[in-house]
Each structure stands twice: as C-alpha cells, then as structure tokens.
C-alpha cells in the first residue's frame, strides 16, 4: 500500500534584503569621485561671485563721484524769502561740511527780503573765509537783493551768462518800505540797512560809496552782463569773450524816442512791472 503521507517540500529560502536598494544608509563607495565632481564647479562659481561684487563696487564708486560733482551746485531760484534762504544756507553748509571742494550757486532772482538776503550773503562769506571757493553765476537776473547775494562770491568768481541782467536800487525799496508809514517807524534800522548794503556794493564793485548812492537814488539801475562787468558788479561773462556790438536799430529807436520817467506805480519794489 502506497504511503499517502505527503512529504513536506523544502521551503525556498527567503531572499535577503537587497542592500543596494538602500544606499542612503551606507557610505558611498566612491567619495573621492563625488568630491571631485563638486570641486570642479566651486572655483568657477566663486570667481563669478567675486567678479559681480567687484563690478557692483566699481559702478557704485563711479556713481558716487558723479553725484558728488553734480551736487556741488546750489540753486537760488525765485524771490528771496525765509524758506528759500533756509534751503540755500542749509545746502551750502552741508556741502562745506562734506569737503572743501568748490561750490557753485546759480541765481535767478528778482530780489526779496533784506534780512533773508543778507543771511545768505553772510553765510557764503563765512565759507569763503574758511577757504572754500564759492562761485555765483547769474542765469537770467539778479535784481535787488539778488545783486547783493551775488557780491558774496569768492574773489574773481562773480559770473554771469551773456544775456542775464543785474539791477541795483535804493535799499529802501529792498526793504519794501519806500514812502510808507513803516519806513518812518523803522527809520533808524532802515538807515543801518542802507549803510550795510551800500558798503557791500561799493566794496566789491570798487566804485566810490558816493557814486553807488547816486546811481541807485530813487531809480532802478539796470545793467546787462557787459555793463555789469564794466561797473564792477561781476567779474566775468561766461561763454563770451567780446561784448556784442550795439544794435543800430535799437540805438536809432532810443535816440528818436522821448525820455519817459517811470513812476512808483509802474515799478514794483523788485523792479518788475506792476502790470
């Protein structure tokens, strides 16, 4: 009789875990190769970073130099009053505190308040006394107190563009007190201001004090750039070496026209037309 007992078959061995499937738990078999692979890119990346930083620093240096050169210019544009005066004074002092390089003030003003104008004048003269060269260039006009501020420039640095105009007149008009009750009430201070301004104009122009008073007494004394140079109110005309010849048509018209004196109603305290 056949043995019906089934002999158990031998179990197949269970496959051992594939160690190659879990490389994260094992050190690399070729660490030197991996390091060399990263090393060949590192120097190039570092070099590029350094070049970019050097380029940025160079551009910043150029921009700083250009900005410093450009920002040594200050502008006095419009009527001279407390806000304009404060801005101009603060700016020139900031520049002077940064370094002692020259400063240029461009002026286009019809005048304004006496004390504010004198404050600008004295602040500029203070810098000049410290050895900082201050150039003042008239572009358009320097009337009334503007012409006084102009006199604050360093020696030989009062300049004007060819078609600019300078006007001086009696300091009573600059104070805005001509023929007013205020003039009588502040007569002593007015006389002191007149004396200060007359002496500033006489000292820088080289004209006798008596002539300054006579030329500005009750009139607005206008001068173009070339006449202002002859009178001593500026030192040079920028961009032109020779004065233009007098236009024959203008000369003929002036010779034929009757002389009409301007009245107080025709001219404002800044020398501008009242119309």
30 a catalytic residue:
no
Secondary structure class of 35 (helix, strand, coil): helix
Measure the CA–CA gap between 41 and 35, rounded to whole angstroms.
Answer: 11
Spatial CA neighbour of 134 closest among 171, 107, 170, 161: 107
123: helix, strand or coil: helix
DSSP string over 60-120: HHHHHHHHHHHTTEEEEES-B-HHHHHHHHHHHHHHHHH--S-EEEEEEE--B-HHHHHHH
Catalytic one of 123, 160, 164, 169: 169
Q: Indicate the SS3 state at residue 219.
A: coil
Q: How far apart are CA 193 and CA 271, in angstroms?
A: 19
Catalytic annotation on 163? no
Which phi-psi region, left, alpha or beta, contains residue 206 (left: φ > 0; alpha: ψ -120 to 50)?
left
Q: Which residue shows structure tokens 């173009």?
A: 224
Task: Indicate which residue of 109, 123, 144, 154 is catalytic.
Answer: 144
Instruction: Give the residue numbers annotated as catalytic, written as ranges.
Output: 144, 169
């Amino acid at each position: 009789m056949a043995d019906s007992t089934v002999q158990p078959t031998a179990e197949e061995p269970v496959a051992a875990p594939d160690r190659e499937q879990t490389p994260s738990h094992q050190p690399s078999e070729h660490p030197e190769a991996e390091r060399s692979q990263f090393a060949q890119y590192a120097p190039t990346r570092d070099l590029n970073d350094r070049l970019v930083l050097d380029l940025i620093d160079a551009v910043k240096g150029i921009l700083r130099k250009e900005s410093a050169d450009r920002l040594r210019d200050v502008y006095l544009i419009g009527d001279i009053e407390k806000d304009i005066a404060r801005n101009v004074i603060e700016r020139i002092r900031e520049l002077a505190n940064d370094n002692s390089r020259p400063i240029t003030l461009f002026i286009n003003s019809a005048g304004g308040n006496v004390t504010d104008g004198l404050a600008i004048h004295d602040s500029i003269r203070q810098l000049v006394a410290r050895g900082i060269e201050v150039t003042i260039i008239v572009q358009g006009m320097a009337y009334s107190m503007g012409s006084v501020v102009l006199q604050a420039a360093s020696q030989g640095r009062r300049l004007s563009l060819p078609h600019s105009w300078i006007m001086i007149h009696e300091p009573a008009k600059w104070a805005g007190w001509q023929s007013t009750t205020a003039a009588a009430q502040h007569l002593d201070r007015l006389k002191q201001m007149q004396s200060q301004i007359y002496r500033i104009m006489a000292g820088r122009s080289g004209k006798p004090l008596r002539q300054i008073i006579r030329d500005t007494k009750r009139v607005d004394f206008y001068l173009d750039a070339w006449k202002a140079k002859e009178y001593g109110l500026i030192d040079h005309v920028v961009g032109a070496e020779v004065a233009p010849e007098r236009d024959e048509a203008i000369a003929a018209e002036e010779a034929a026209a009757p002389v009409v004196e301007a009245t107080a109603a025709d001219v404002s305290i800044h020398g501008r037309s009242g119309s």
